[in-house]
Amino acid sequence: MCSIFSQIVAGEIPARVVYEDESAMAFLDANPLAPGHTLVIPKAEYERLNDVPEDVATDLYATIHRMVPAIEEAVDADATTVAFNNGEAAGQEVDHVHCHIVPRFDGDGGGP
């Protein structure tokens, strides 16, 4: 099993990495819904949130918590949509857990 995102972690596929530590990585989405649309992933590959061990989930949330204000500041956003598509029926296309952080701007309609 080697997802596109695992290949980004391994440096085999280029990405605009904006944050990285031992267990998590954040990089810009290749098809952004808004400027600064960022994906936060656990470096280890888990298909769904349901598969993520609690310690990894804790680290992942800490990274999300850190990235949200940093991204808002970087693109001067008024708000952010923070979302996981968890499973195919929810629209998950890449089978490696990832959190979308989508900057939102007053009047853009908002929503997931």
Catalytic residue among 37, 65, 96, 98: 98
Using CB under 6 A as the binding rule, whether residue 29 contacts ligand 5GP is answered as: yes
CA distance linking residue 43 with residue 9, whole number of Å? 6
Residue 38 lies near ligand 5GP (rule: CB under 6 A): no
User: In the stretch 50-89, what mask flags binding to ligand 5GP with x, by CB under 6 A?
Assistant: -----------------------------------x----
- Tell me the per-residue interface mask from 1 to 20 with ligand 5GP, x by CB under 6 A, - otherwise: ---x--------x-x-----
Extract the tokens encoding 73.
């500041």
Shorter beta-carbon distance to ligand 5GP: residue 32 or 108: 32
CA distances from 89 to 13, 17, 20, 46, 94 (A): 27, 28, 29, 17, 12
Whether residue 104 contacts residue 80, with contact meaning beta carbons closer than 8 Å, is answered with yes
Q: Does the annotation count 98 as an active-site position?
A: yes
User: What SS3 state is found at 105?
Assistant: coil
Task: State phi, psi for 107 to the nearest 5 degrees.
Answer: 90, 0
Applying CB under 6 A, which residues contact ligand 5GP? 4, 13, 15, 27-31, 39, 85, 91-94
Q: Which residues are catalytic?
A: 98
